[in-house]
Every structure is written in structure tokens, then in C-alpha cells.
Amino acid sequence: MELVFDCNRLAKDELTYELVIRGFEDVGTVESMRSCLRNVIELEHSGQSLTYPPYPLNCYDEFKIIENNIKEVISLIDQFNGDIKSSLYWKLTSKITHIVRRVDRTHPIEDT
């Protein structure tokens, strides 16, 4: 199963990350960030040949952010009592997908 997320369910810092790793910075408002990310993801899924910059982030800083994101998701899970049709379900799905992909992209500074 392919992991997917809805750009509309991500917070500003999550959108910033998704754009920075793709080579975009200072896109503007949250809505313009979402629009830009939707367009880039559409290109990715269409099979377009896209070149991204080397991973620009420090893994130690990333792990701190990921840990905070996981805490937020756990808190949202504790509040969840809906079903697959609920808004919170799709927010959780999007945030979990973001976290999984973020972990996958993280590169250690050293081999150890």
C-alpha cells in the first residue's frame, strides 16, 4: 500500500519540510505552500524527471522534530473516536505518512 497524505492536513512546519527537501524555500502563505506542494507531488506521480537537492537537514535536529511530531500524533490518537470518514482520521493518516517519509529521508551525518 502506498503511503499518501493530504497537503491540507499538514501544519506549516510539515509543509515547510516537504518543500525544503524538494528544493523550495520561502513559498509564502500556508495556502501557497499547499498549492506548490500539490503541484510538485502531481509531477512526481506523473513520472516526470525531477532533480532534488542533496538532503539539506541535520539528522539530530530532524530526530528531535520527529519525536515531537510523534508525541502530537499520539495525542491525536488519544482523542480519536471516529471512523475512516472523519476529518481527524485523515489528519492522522497524513501526519503519520509525513513522519514515516521523514524518517526514511533522514541521513546520518556519520556512519555510527
Would you say residue 111 has pLDDT above 70?
A: no
**Alpha-carbon span 51 to 45, nearest angstrom:** 14
Q: What is the pLDDT of residue 16?
A: 94
User: Mean pLDDT, to the nearest integer, of 35-44?
Assistant: 92
Task: Enter the pTM of the model.
Answer: 0.80
